Amino acid sequence: MNTVLVDVQLPGGQVATTHQVSNYPGFEKPQQGYMLSHFMSEQTRLCGTKYKVAVDVAKIDLVNKTVLIDDFETIKAKKIIIATGASPRPLGIAGEKEFKGNGISYCATCDAKYYDGKEVIVIGGGNSAVEEAEFITKFASKVTIIHQFAELTANKEAQEKLFANPKVSFLFESEPRVFEKIDGKMYVSYENLKTKKTEKIASDGIFVFIGMKPNIDLFADKLELDNWGYIKTNEDMQTNIDGIYAVGDVRSKKYRQITTAVADGTIAAIDISKKL
């Protein structure tokens, strides 16, 4: 099959920005995320995949199956797989971009083990923040949660588990304003929303869990989505539009990991090859 991979960045998505991946099958030692992405890219190049990367995707016509890149080249396809992934919701404060992947993480299962015996700050108070914070306590010696409301918004069972954990402390009704890195330590300047006073707290690392957002801006109005904005598919990864598939983190699903994304891609590719 004649296959083209189109990406607005270099291939790899969230994997490429993950510090290390320790649980991908076939690798005895942890792999740097960008290297795992590189290995995948090079492998598929050898299979004949053509790459159109670091391009501007100006327009996608899912019905007619055309992709316009750089307002210049139109690619016509028989089938399209959407694998645009999801992105952590950023806080949008000073220092966040600068220290992303270098002191600031958005994935506990990816990076918590690198804070064994260290102190960590978690931003957020919903289900993901509370569940990920509980996971981080398996490694970190201390976890401080900064949350904008007076109470956590996660489910009660998860909350009770966290409140009972002696490693965890809370800064309620507070919001981070600035991230800094000084002498290898990460600092959060946060505002107490009741007193309006700003204070600074030090840690070895910061985890931000204020939710994820699927990358669907180019075709959100064309596809059937779930309540959280993720693309609905059937078990063959087909969307509501004939010939359009969705795989990986952009798809409505229960678990989002590298292995489950790869599995989605396998299913879509097999279904496409049979139909073609």
Q: How far apart are CA 247 and CA 81, in angstroms?
A: 7
Whether 183 is catalytic: no
Tell me if residue 184 falls in helix, strand or coil: coil
Q: Which of 110, 204, 249, 264 is catalytic?
A: 110
Residue-by-residue DSSP string for 222-271: TS-B-TTSPBP--TT-B-SSTTEEE-GGGB--S---HHHHHHHHHHHHHH
β-strand partners of 203? 186
Amino acid at 164: A
Q: Which of 111, 204, 249, 264 is catalytic?
A: 111
Q: Which of 7, 47, 71, 107 is catalytic?
A: 107
Whether 107 is catalytic: yes
Q: Is the dihedral of CA 45, 50, 54, 60 positive or negative?
A: negative
Whether 47 is catalytic: no
Point out the residues that are catalytic. 107, 110-111
